[in-house]
Amino acid sequence: MSVITHVRSISEELYGKLRERPDIATRLAAERQAIDFERTAFIAEHLRGVPPETKAKVSEWANQRADALVGEHAAVWETLTKDGVQRSDVDVALEVGRVGFGLGLAFARTKVTIFEAGEEVGDDVGYGPTRMFSPSETHALYAAMVALPIATFATQYEAASRGDTTSDPYEGFEMVVSARVKLGAYLHRAKVSFRALLVWSD
Protein backbone atom coordinates (compact mmCIF):
# COMPACT_ATOMS: atom_id res chain seq x y z
CA MET A 1 0.00 0.00 0.00
CA SER A 2 1.35 3.43 -0.92
CA VAL A 3 2.14 6.05 1.69
CA ILE A 4 0.48 9.39 0.86
CA THR A 5 1.92 12.44 2.61
CA HIS A 6 -0.04 15.64 3.27
CA VAL A 7 0.80 19.12 4.59
CA ARG A 8 -1.83 21.52 5.98
CA SER A 9 -1.21 25.10 7.09
CA ILE A 10 -3.27 26.42 9.99
CA SER A 11 -3.59 29.68 11.94
CA GLU A 12 -1.40 30.53 14.91
CA GLU A 13 -4.54 30.57 17.07
CA LEU A 14 -5.48 27.03 16.04
CA TYR A 15 -1.88 25.89 16.61
CA GLY A 16 -2.23 26.95 20.25
CA LYS A 17 -5.64 25.29 20.57
CA LEU A 18 -4.37 21.93 19.28
CA ARG A 19 -2.04 21.60 22.26
CA GLU A 20 -5.16 21.40 24.43
CA ARG A 21 -7.33 19.58 21.88
CA PRO A 22 -5.09 17.10 20.01
CA ASP A 23 -8.22 15.26 18.83
CA ILE A 24 -8.91 18.18 16.47
CA ALA A 25 -5.49 17.67 14.85
CA THR A 26 -6.42 14.04 14.26
CA ARG A 27 -9.69 15.07 12.58
CA LEU A 28 -7.96 17.70 10.41
CA ALA A 29 -5.89 14.85 8.98
CA ALA A 30 -8.27 11.88 9.02
CA GLU A 31 -11.22 13.85 7.60
CA ARG A 32 -9.11 15.74 5.04
CA GLN A 33 -11.27 15.02 2.00
CA ALA A 34 -14.53 16.12 3.64
CA ILE A 35 -12.93 19.22 5.19
CA ASP A 36 -11.35 20.42 1.92
CA PHE A 37 -14.22 19.40 -0.35
CA GLU A 38 -15.24 21.82 -3.14
CA ARG A 39 -17.60 20.24 -5.65
CA THR A 40 -16.38 21.80 -8.92
CA ALA A 41 -12.72 21.15 -8.14
CA PHE A 42 -13.48 17.60 -6.96
CA ILE A 43 -15.27 16.65 -10.20
CA ALA A 44 -12.69 18.36 -12.42
CA GLU A 45 -9.87 16.51 -10.67
CA HIS A 46 -11.48 13.13 -11.30
CA LEU A 47 -12.24 13.90 -14.95
CA ARG A 48 -8.75 15.17 -15.76
CA GLY A 49 -7.11 12.93 -18.37
CA VAL A 50 -10.09 10.55 -18.61
CA PRO A 51 -10.54 9.12 -22.15
CA PRO A 52 -13.72 10.28 -23.95
CA GLU A 53 -15.14 6.75 -24.08
CA THR A 54 -15.19 6.46 -20.27
CA LYS A 55 -15.85 10.09 -19.37
CA ALA A 56 -19.63 9.71 -18.93
CA LYS A 57 -19.23 6.78 -16.54
CA VAL A 58 -16.52 8.52 -14.51
CA SER A 59 -18.57 11.73 -14.45
CA GLU A 60 -21.58 9.85 -13.07
CA TRP A 61 -19.43 8.30 -10.33
CA ALA A 62 -17.79 11.65 -9.50
CA ASN A 63 -21.16 13.38 -9.18
CA GLN A 64 -22.53 10.62 -6.94
CA ARG A 65 -19.43 10.81 -4.74
CA ALA A 66 -19.72 14.61 -4.68
CA ASP A 67 -23.34 14.33 -3.51
CA ALA A 68 -22.18 12.24 -0.55
CA LEU A 69 -19.29 14.58 0.23
CA VAL A 70 -21.59 17.62 0.37
CA GLY A 71 -23.21 16.11 3.47
CA GLU A 72 -19.90 14.98 4.96
CA HIS A 73 -18.41 18.44 4.41
CA ALA A 74 -21.32 20.16 6.15
CA ALA A 75 -21.29 17.71 9.06
CA VAL A 76 -17.57 17.91 9.75
CA TRP A 77 -17.56 21.71 9.62
CA GLU A 78 -20.57 21.89 11.94
CA THR A 79 -18.61 19.88 14.49
CA LEU A 80 -15.38 21.83 14.01
CA THR A 81 -17.24 25.13 14.38
CA LYS A 82 -18.78 23.94 17.66
CA ASP A 83 -15.24 23.20 18.83
CA GLY A 84 -14.20 26.77 18.09
CA VAL A 85 -12.45 26.16 14.75
CA GLN A 86 -13.17 28.77 12.08
CA ARG A 87 -12.79 28.11 8.35
CA SER A 88 -10.18 30.88 8.24
CA ASP A 89 -8.07 28.80 10.65
CA VAL A 90 -7.71 25.89 8.22
CA ASP A 91 -6.13 25.97 4.76
CA VAL A 92 -6.66 23.35 2.07
CA ALA A 93 -4.07 20.62 2.49
CA LEU A 94 -1.29 20.06 -0.02
CA GLU A 95 -1.11 16.42 -1.09
CA VAL A 96 2.58 15.67 -1.47
CA GLY A 97 1.54 12.15 -2.36
CA ARG A 98 3.72 9.09 -2.83
CA VAL A 99 6.70 11.24 -3.75
CA GLY A 100 6.99 12.27 -0.09
CA PHE A 101 9.34 9.32 0.40
CA GLY A 102 11.65 10.59 -2.33
CA LEU A 103 11.56 14.11 -0.90
CA GLY A 104 12.45 12.68 2.48
CA LEU A 105 15.52 11.05 0.95
CA ALA A 106 16.59 14.30 -0.70
CA PHE A 107 16.07 16.34 2.49
CA ALA A 108 17.72 13.80 4.82
CA ARG A 109 20.57 15.24 6.90
CA THR A 110 19.64 18.79 5.87
CA LYS A 111 17.81 21.49 7.81
CA VAL A 112 14.60 20.80 5.86
CA THR A 113 13.21 18.48 8.52
CA ILE A 114 9.54 18.66 7.53
CA PHE A 115 9.29 14.88 7.05
CA GLU A 116 11.11 13.81 10.19
CA ALA A 117 10.66 16.45 12.91
CA GLY A 118 7.74 18.31 14.47
CA GLU A 119 5.72 17.78 17.62
CA GLU A 120 3.48 14.72 17.54
CA VAL A 121 -0.13 15.59 18.25
CA GLY A 122 -3.26 13.44 18.27
CA ASP A 123 -3.73 9.80 17.34
CA ASP A 124 -2.24 7.59 14.64
CA VAL A 125 -3.75 8.57 11.28
CA GLY A 126 -2.16 5.82 9.21
CA TYR A 127 1.60 6.06 9.59
CA GLY A 128 1.88 7.65 13.00
CA PRO A 129 0.29 10.75 14.51
CA THR A 130 0.09 14.14 12.84
CA ARG A 131 3.21 16.26 13.43
CA MET A 132 2.92 19.97 14.12
CA PHE A 133 5.27 22.88 13.42
CA SER A 134 4.89 26.37 14.89
CA PRO A 135 4.74 29.46 12.64
CA SER A 136 8.38 30.19 13.48
CA GLU A 137 9.36 26.64 12.57
CA THR A 138 7.42 26.97 9.31
CA HIS A 139 9.45 30.07 8.49
CA ALA A 140 12.68 28.21 9.29
CA LEU A 141 11.67 25.24 7.11
CA TYR A 142 10.99 27.52 4.16
CA ALA A 143 14.28 29.39 4.66
CA ALA A 144 16.17 26.09 4.83
CA MET A 145 14.54 24.86 1.62
CA VAL A 146 15.39 28.06 -0.24
CA ALA A 147 18.97 27.90 1.02
CA LEU A 148 19.43 24.26 -0.08
CA PRO A 149 21.09 24.33 -3.54
CA ILE A 150 19.37 22.17 -6.15
CA ALA A 151 22.72 20.50 -6.88
CA THR A 152 23.04 19.45 -3.23
CA PHE A 153 19.41 18.33 -3.25
CA ALA A 154 20.03 16.18 -6.34
CA THR A 155 23.26 14.69 -4.99
CA GLN A 156 21.58 13.88 -1.69
CA TYR A 157 18.68 12.17 -3.46
CA GLU A 158 20.95 10.17 -5.74
CA ALA A 159 23.15 8.98 -2.87
CA ALA A 160 20.19 8.08 -0.63
CA SER A 161 18.19 6.29 -3.34
CA ARG A 162 21.06 4.36 -4.93
CA GLY A 163 20.34 0.66 -4.74
CA ASP A 164 16.83 1.25 -3.39
CA THR A 165 14.70 -1.50 -4.94
CA THR A 166 11.47 0.01 -3.58
CA SER A 167 11.61 3.04 -5.89
CA ASP A 168 8.83 3.55 -8.43
CA PRO A 169 8.02 6.27 -11.02
CA TYR A 170 6.41 8.41 -8.31
CA GLU A 171 9.78 8.63 -6.58
CA GLY A 172 11.84 9.42 -9.70
CA PHE A 173 13.92 12.59 -9.55
CA GLU A 174 11.69 14.61 -11.92
CA MET A 175 8.69 13.91 -9.69
CA VAL A 176 10.73 14.78 -6.59
CA VAL A 177 11.81 18.13 -8.05
CA SER A 178 8.24 18.94 -9.06
CA ALA A 179 7.04 18.13 -5.54
CA ARG A 180 9.78 20.31 -4.06
CA VAL A 181 8.55 23.28 -6.13
CA LYS A 182 4.93 22.77 -5.02
CA LEU A 183 5.95 22.31 -1.39
CA GLY A 184 8.15 25.43 -1.55
CA ALA A 185 5.25 27.51 -2.88
CA TYR A 186 2.93 26.15 -0.17
CA LEU A 187 5.45 26.88 2.60
CA HIS A 188 6.02 30.38 1.21
CA ARG A 189 2.29 31.17 1.48
CA ALA A 190 2.24 29.73 5.00
CA LYS A 191 5.30 31.76 6.00
CA VAL A 192 3.87 35.02 4.64
CA SER A 193 0.62 34.45 6.58
CA PHE A 194 2.52 33.31 9.70
CA ARG A 195 0.80 29.92 9.63
CA ALA A 196 1.69 26.75 11.49
CA LEU A 197 1.85 23.35 9.80
CA LEU A 198 0.39 19.90 10.23
CA VAL A 199 2.16 17.03 8.41
CA TRP A 200 0.92 13.44 8.22
CA SER A 201 0.97 10.29 6.09
CA ASP A 202 -1.84 7.82 5.47
pLDDT at position 169: 44
Q: How far is CA 150 from CA 7, 42, 146, in A?
A: 22, 33, 9
Nearest to 129 by CA among 32, 25, 34, 31: 25
**Which residue type, as a one-letter code, is found at position 133?**
F
CA 163 to CA 59: how far, in whole Å? 42
pLDDT at position 164: 56
Q: How far is CA 155 from CA 15, 108, 174, in A?
A: 35, 11, 13
Summarised one tens digit per residue, pLDDT across range 114-129 is 988 999 999 999 889 9
Q: Sketch out the chain's domains with CATH numbers.
A: 5-201 (3.40.1760)
> For residues 127 and 202, is the Cβ–Cβ distance under 8 A?
yes
Summarised one tens digit per residue, pLDDT across range 140-168 is 999 999 999 888 888 888 877 765 545 45
- B/e letters for 33-45, b = 16+ CB within 10 Å, e = fewer, are ebbbbeeeebbee
